[in-house]
Homo-oligomer: A and B are copies of this chain.
Amino acid sequence: MEAEVLATGDEIRSGALVDSNSAHISQKLEETGISVVRHSCVGDDSDILTTILKEIGSRTDICVVTGGLGPTSDDLTSESAAKAAGVELAINKNALSSVEEFFKARKRLYSPSNKKQAMLPKGSECLFNPVGSAPGFSLKIDKCLFFFLPGVPPEMRRMLSDKVLPRIEKLTRKTKIYCQNRTISTFGLTEAAVNEKLTGFPDLFKELKLGLRANFPVIQVKLYGTVEDENYLNELLNKASDWISQKIGKRIVSLNGNSMEKVVGDFLVQKNATIAVAESCTGGLISHLFTNIAGSSNFFLFSGVTYSNKSKIKILGVSSSTLEKYGAVHEETAKEMAKGAQRISGATYGLSTTGIAGPDGGTENKPVGTICIGLATPDTVLAHRFHFSSFNRLMNKKIFAITALDLLRKDLLDFSK
Residues of A in contact with B (beta carbons under 8 Å apart):
7, 10-20, 22-30, 36-44, 48, 52, 70-74, 105-109, 111, 113-114, 131, 133, 152, 154, 181, 190-193, 195-196, 202, 209-214, 216, 222, 224, 277, 279, 282-288, 290-292, 294-297, 300-308, 310-311, 314-315, 344-346, 357-360, 389, 392-394, 397
Contacts and interface: CB of A to CB of B under 8 A. Distances in A.
Please give me the 7 A-B residue pairs with the lowest Cβ-Cβ distance, nearest first: A283-B291, A284-B287, A15-B26, A15-B27, A284-B284, A303-B305, A39-B41
Contacts of A287: 279, 283-284, 287-288, 305
Contacts of A222: 11, 16
Contacts of A11: 211, 213, 222
Given A10-B209, A296-B307, A192 B41 contact: no
B43 A37 contact: yes
A359 B294 contact: yes
20 contacts: A10-B209, A10-B211, A15-B22, A15-B23, A15-B24, A16-B211, A19-B39, A37-B48, A70-B192, A154-B392, A277-B305, A284-B285, A284-B287, A287-B287, A291-B305, A301-B308, A301-B310, A303-B304, A304-B304, A314-B344
B26 A192 contact: no
A358 B291 CA distance: 11
B283 A192 contact: no
B39 A292 contact: no
Nearest to A26: B15
A12 to B, nearest CB: 7
Contacts of A29: 15
A14 B27 contact: yes
Contact of A15 (B36, B41, B210): B36
Given A41-B39, A111-B193, A285 B283 contact: no
A223 to B, nearest CB: 11
A117 to B, nearest CB: 9
B16 A181 contact: yes
Contacts of A314: 344-345
A109 B210 CA distance: 23
A37 B15 CA distance: 11
Contacts of A212: 70, 72
A192 B222 CA distance: 39
Given A20-B18, A285-B284, A37 B42 contact: yes
A392 B11 CA distance: 27
Nearest to A43: B37
A44 B37 CA distance: 10
Given A14-B224, A15-B30, A344-B315, A40 B43 contact: no
A74 B25 CA distance: 23
Contact of A307 (B72, B133, B300): B300
Contact of A389 (B106, B193, B310, B397): B106
A41 B22 contact: yes
A155 to B, nearest CB: 10
Contacts of A44: 211
Given A13-B38, A37-B43, A131-B392, 18 more contacts: A10-B211, A10-B224, A13-B26, A14-B27, A14-B181, A15-B24, A15-B26, A15-B30, A16-B27, A105-B389, A109-B193, A113-B192, A152-B214, A283-B288, A291-B397, A294-B358, A294-B393, A302-B311
A290 B301 contact: no
A286 to B, nearest CB: 7
Given A113-B192, A284-B286, A307-B297, A213 B16 contact: yes
B285 A288 contact: yes
B302 A192 contact: no
A52 B70 contact: no
